Amino acid sequence: MTTTLVEPSLAERISHHVLRDNSKDMDEIRDQLQCAIDLELATIPAYLCGLWSIKDKKSATGKPAYDLIKSVVLEEMLHMGLACNMLTAIGGEPKIDPPAYPKTLPGGVGGDLVVHLQGLTKDYVKGTYLAIEAPEIPSLPPLTTGTPVTIGSFYDTLLRRLRRHSPALTRAHQLGDVGLGLFEIQDFADIERAIAEIKAQGEGTATVPGISDEPDELAHYYKFAQIVAGGQLVKKGTGRWEYSKDLPVPFPEAWPMVEVPKGGYATKYTVSADVQKKMTAFNGAYKVVLGLLRDAWTTSGDGRKSLSAAVSAMGKLESLATPLLEEADPKNPAQHFGPEFLGA
């Protein structure tokens, strides 16, 4: 009997994060950058569901967590834009496809972690948000155990391969936005800067829990950790960082948004015509955002105008999500519906 060994497909190798560092195949590098775009995009709906489920966003108990999560969302948008610019710079065309939840993360990040959409709970922050943003080399004792593949290690592999290949770069179809912090990739130093910024904003460095040792520049992991720990992370006179109970970060009261099942709520729950209308309105607006992002990087028109319109359209999604979060499941009033993020 003859056994035939079948090589794993490119998609399988990317998803398991075992791309060979010595590969000079530009198609594979472009695919890994597309994977980076998919990865950054996949985090945003999960963070938005938690953000929008906070009931009183302006109160002393709601605002601290709301502001922390919102700041992370804005930086994830930046990271996706930087990944799009890097892919465009080496001659690729970004694909902005909606993630389908529940899902594992692209690039094998988080290992077997399954990301789903639900309202904010302490377990959700700890089990999902902190798992997504887990640092490769923590600067502080982590609140969670490490993951097999971190976002930082994913980008480290990408940078090594780009350095080895030294691809020619083009500025065609790239976008810059001062408000978002988005910049064009003009030379290899810009690639290194983009990846360093993505890593530092997400997980900090080996010595400080952020871009710098300023409290307002904490990395995503440590911003989320403050919500779990219940206190702001501050640097003491000794140089030691601690979660301070004197500067509390209260866990906010949130709408109990039940997990979105595969294919949307109607596949599992009784959804009234009125609620379904609200879900359809949100999903339609979400599709508009995705379409504008596609236009921004893939058309010969005014990409900056499309990007600006996408950011504006995304800012309006919360007003469509809130009425859904206030809708209770008629068969179980203790759980509520929420945005489905069905963009297909």
Task: Return the CATH number at 204.
Answer: 1.20.1260.10
151 lies in the same domain as 210: yes
Task: Give the per-residue pLDDT at 256.
Answer: 97
208 within domain boundaries: yes
CB atoms within 10 A of CB 308: 17
pLDDT at 21: 42
- What's the predicted TM-score (pTM) here? 0.89
pLDDT, tens only, 46-81: 999 999 999 999 999 999 999 999 999 999 999 999
Which of 254, 274, 297 is the C-terminal boundary of a domain? 254
Same domain flag for 86 and 164: yes
Domain boundary among 197, 227, 254: 254
250, 260: one domain = no
Q: Residue 13: pLDDT band by 50, 70, 90 thresholds?
A: very low
Residue 5 lies in a domain: no
Give the pLDDT confidence of 216-234 residue by residue, as tens digits: 689 999 999 999 999 999 8
Task: Specify whether 123 is located in the same domain as 266.
Answer: no
Q: Please state the domain count of the chain.
A: 2
Question: Are residues 184 and 326 both part of a single domain?
Answer: no
pLDDT value of position 25: 78
- Answer whether residue 236 is part of any domain: yes
- Kindly state whether residue 1 falls inside one of the protein's structural domains: no
Examine residue 104 and state whether it is found in any structural domain, yes or no.
Answer: yes
For residues 87 and 230, state if they share a domain. yes
Range of the domain at 68: 10-254
- Higher pLDDT: 343 or 220? It is 220
Average pLDDT of the chain, as a whole number: 88
Backbone angles phi, psi at 57, to 5 degrees: -80, -10
Residue 1: predicted pLDDT: 43
Lowest average pLDDT, out of 11-20, 41-50, 116-125, goes to 11-20
- Whether residue 216 lies inside any domain: the answer is yes
The answer to whether residues 246 and 322 belong to one domain is: no
Domain assignment present for residue 3? The answer is: no
- pLDDT surpasses 60 at 324: yes
Q: Are residues 94 and 228 in the same domain?
A: yes
Same domain, 330 and 223: no
- 102 and 160 assigned to the same domain: yes
Q: In whole angstroms, give the CA distance from residue 293 to residue 13.
A: 27
Question: Could you give the CA distance from residue 9 to residue 211 in angstroms, rounded to a whole number?
Answer: 37
User: Are 99 and 29 in a shared domain?
Assistant: yes
Same domain as 244, residue 159: yes
Per-residue confidence (pLDDT) for residue 135, from 0 to 100: 87
Looking at 222, 254, 286, the residue that finishes a domain is 254
Tell me whether residue 2 is in a domain: no
